[in-house]
Amino acid sequence: MAPRPRPNPKKTPNTWPGIKNRIRGYKEQMVTLQRDLTAIPALGPQNGGKGEYAKALFLEKQLKALSPQTILNLGCPDPRVPQGIRPNLLALFEGRNPSRTIWILSHMDIVPIGDRRLWKTDPYTLKRKGDFLYGRGVEDNQQGIVSSYFAVKALEEEGVRPAYPVGLLWVSDEETGSHKGLEFFLKKKRKLFKADDLIIVPDAGNREGTMIEVAEKSMLWIKFTLLGKQCHGSRPDIGKNTLRGTAHFIIALEKLPRIFKKKDSHFDLPISTFEPTQKEANVSNINTIPGQDVFYLDCRVLPEYPLTKVIDTIRGIAVEVEKKTGLGIKIEVINSLQAPPATKADAPVVHALQEAVQAVHHKKAFPWGIGGGTVAAFFREVGLPAVVWCSAAETAHQPNEFCRLSHLIKDAQVFAHIFCQS
Ligand SMILES: [Zn+2]
């Protein structure tokens, strides 16, 4: 294929109305891309899937059609998936002034569908109903992929070169810790990023598109294994029932929000939360007393509390429960992400987004803190001021997940505005 002519660098950026209209015209193409992506489930191995390889291969082709200056697929080795790697895709597009880069980071992986009976349609076949597109992954995080893709395409087709280089970065493993995704990418390619780059992660927000997330809570996932003694249901005297122990333990953990009780009104939920979530199966029949039970705790903690202190407190509670029940409790930290310093509320990326949201939504956007853990934390960890923003339907991880076409269009317009004007 012959290379496309480069966009004319002399063209001034006051081509915004043309770009805005062009994006509106992409509606059907956006549906098609959403449909194609939904049909390639990209579940990480921890979620029982084969990873993001096929989805990345498809997306790489789409990106090549936009003639980026550079395209890179940085695979992180992972023997748990058939191809042995977790892909991380980067496409860089030239800008008028190379002094900083505008990054839009989205993730390719999705979460499992959960209980299939709760879905009204096949989760992996896109269903369109008016302004609504239904399917697993359509919001989280294909909305980010599709909107940023068409923002770049609009500038390219209008012959407008962005104010600064634009980097579309599409990573793996966001839903299960980012170790094979952004964490890996930043370790290998930290030099690509500069402190005054504009970094946007379109992975959370509110319906109006007015929430710019600049801070996150710390995130802590813990696995508890209760160890007792299995026996017949009629002889509890010779066993040690771990399901009863689990119940005692869960109730004892209710102390945590009273111990870590500070409030911060910058956060959407202004308190720290400690929720028991997953419970693994124990025995397979009614008349056996279980001798082992496993459950998990998902903690979202205000950044001022060190997670080490939370873990120590949990260990203390576990010891009390061990004494009371005569059971053993094994504690494993599955994921621990201490919230890094917040992005400043007056950072250039916040201003650029506020201007763009004003131009597209005619509303004022505000800096805000959320429950985390989005991948933006990895950027902030290394001193890069990232924000999380999109117009969100807020159906991520739910059955009947949907994405609004109007959100796709407006998000693409916001990104395009930033590309043109920053
Ligand atoms: Zn997400």
> Region 97-111: what's the mean pLDDT?
97
Q: Which two tokens stand for residue 279?
A: 């419970």
> Region 42-47: what's the mean pLDDT?
96
What's the whole-model pTM score? 0.79
pLDDT tens digits, 258-317? 999 999 887 878 999 999 999 999 999 999 999 999 999 999 999 889 999 999 999 999
Catalytic residue annotation: 109, 174
Cis peptide before 141 (omega within 30 of 0): yes
Q: How many CA atoms lie within 13 A of 63 on its CB side?
A: 25
CA of 287 to the centre of ligand 1 (A): 42
CA of 397 to the centre of ligand 1 (A): 9
CA of 374 to the centre of ligand 1 (A): 7
CA of 109 to the centre of ligand 1 (A): 8
pLDDT at 2 over 60: no
Question: What percent of the chain has a predicted confidence (pLDDT) above 90?
Answer: 87
pLDDT tens digits, 122-161? 999 999 999 999 999 999 999 999 999 999 999 999 999 9
Pairing of β 211-216 and β 366-370? parallel
**Given this model, what pLDDT does residue 304 score?**
87
Q: Give, for 273, the enclosing helix (H) or strand (E).
A: strand 273-279
CA of 106 to the centre of ligand 1 (A): 8
CA angle 127, 128, 129 (to 5 degrees): 120
**Given this model, what pLDDT does residue 9 score?**
45
User: pLDDT grade, residue 422 (50/70/90)?
Assistant: low
CA of 66 to the centre of ligand 1 (A): 24
> Region 217-244: what's the mean pLDDT?
97
Q: 382 by DSSP, 3-state: which? A: coil
Average pLDDT, the chain: 94
- 241 versus 5: which is more confidently predicted? 241
> Rounded CA gap, 288 and 236, in Å?
9
pLDDT at 12 over 80: no
Output DSSP code: residue 263: -
CA of 140 to the centre of ligand 1 (A): 4
CA of 419 to the centre of ligand 1 (A): 23
**Given this model, what pLDDT does residue 202 score?**
97
**Given this model, what pLDDT does residue 10 score?**
45
